[in-house]
Amino acid sequence: MTITRDAEHQEIWHRLAEHALFSIGAQGEWHWFRYHFSFMPLHPLAKSIVDACADCERVIPGLGEQFIEEIISINGQERHEPHYEQLLQKLSEILVLRQLLSLDWPPDTEFQHEPAAVPNGKRPELRVTTPDERFLFEVKTPSLMAHIRNRNRAGVQIPGRALERERIEAIAANENVTLPRDNPIKDFLVDANEKFRQFKARNEEKSVLIIVWDDFLYEPITALGHERCGLLTPNSYFRDADDNAIEFPHIDAVILIRHLTYLYRATADVPLDERNHALDFGDENSLPNVHFPLNHGLPIPENVLKGLRAVSHTDEVLQRFADYRPKDIVIWA
């Protein structure tokens, strides 16, 4: 749907901006974004946050205010890295939900933020109910800062578990090695599968797990799709007591969003180059995101995939680019 930026939208924007400026920029508690919310006109990062929150508020009353409050609340400890990563995770959620709310949904579509299928049930980020279909979306973002530091200084990276343990140990004995960051992805799948299960037990719902990553997209692609170890393959490293690959029957698709690097740059006042601002989702000329349909899953409509700029992980053109292919090992020159 088109988000109308009328007088009401302007009123929402000014209200959210004023609240953020007063509560983050002027507050006594230390905050990672205090500088960004300390002056008018707003710093580009602060403006991108308020713009996105106002768009969300216009569609789901209270949602933009909730996002601002959640950003405000992550404070108090100077340069506390877990807070920084929590803020990036919140910005990733705002990025994706704003994009979902902006898609070309049919008239009379309804949106619910963090709905529950049963009392005290698990809550996915968004439920979209059209006249003909229901959709569930869960958004996840890993903590990558320690992983990035190790990746930057290591000469060798092992993105997945395709190599035998003995070979990995032999490489690690002689090289500084970056090991896989696949367990968070496994945990995301387990959690989303359980959240979606409670809804699918009652109705047919198309369910999508969205994972936001940085520019090294081959890492989650390897974790999900490598033929010898991928979590969505029969050879998954995640297995039950009978040595069967554990499946995720209540997830219909996984979409990988390539965006965290823009958030790192924006928070550090580094030029973004390929984006107009921190929460710019990109356009048809931007590097694509990646779609993994699950074998058992319901098909996700093309308008949703197009709106999320998601291309199948098996796409022939995509496979020409190294960052979009699973890897056994990466050796940095």
Residue 166 — pLDDT band, cuts 50, 70, 90?
confident
Alpha-carbon distance 13 to 65, whole Å? 10
**Token digits for 115?**
């709905």
- Is 0.75 surpassed by the pTM of this model? yes
126-160 tens-digit pLDDT: 999 999 999 999 999 999 999 999 999 998 999 99
Q: CA quadruple 211, 216, 219, 222: dihedral positive or negative? A: positive
- Which of the 8 DSSP states describes residue 243? S
Checking if the pLDDT of 34 tops 90, the result is yes
- Residue pointed to by tokens 């949703």: 304
Alpha-carbon distance 167 to 258, whole Å? 30
Residue 313 — pLDDT band, cuts 50, 70, 90?
very high
187-243 tens-digit pLDDT: 999 999 999 999 999 999 999 999 999 999 999 999 999 999 999 999 999 999 999
Mapping DSSP to helix (H, G, I), strand (E, B) and coil, where does residue 292 land? strand
Write phi, then psi, for 124 (nearest 5 degrees).
-70, 165
Alpha-carbon distance 262 to 155, whole Å? 24
Mapping DSSP to helix (H, G, I), strand (E, B) and coil, where does residue 151 land? helix
Checking if the pLDDT of 29 tops 90, the result is no
Checking if the pLDDT of 28 tops 90, the result is no
| Structural contact between residues 154 and 176, judged by C-beta atoms closer than 8 angstroms | yes
Task: Give the lowest-confidence range in 12-16, 93-97, 172-176.
Answer: 172-176
229-278 tens-digit pLDDT: 999 999 999 999 999 999 999 999 999 999 999 999 999 999 998 999 99
Alpha-carbon distance 151 to 47, whole Å? 32
Checking if the pLDDT of 1 tops 70, the result is no
**pLDDT for res 2:** 65
Task: Give the lowest-confidence range in 80-89, 115-124, 237-246.
Answer: 115-124
Residues contacting 272, CB < 8 A, separation 6+: 262, 265, 266, 278, 280
Alpha-carbon distance 13 to 11, whole Å? 5
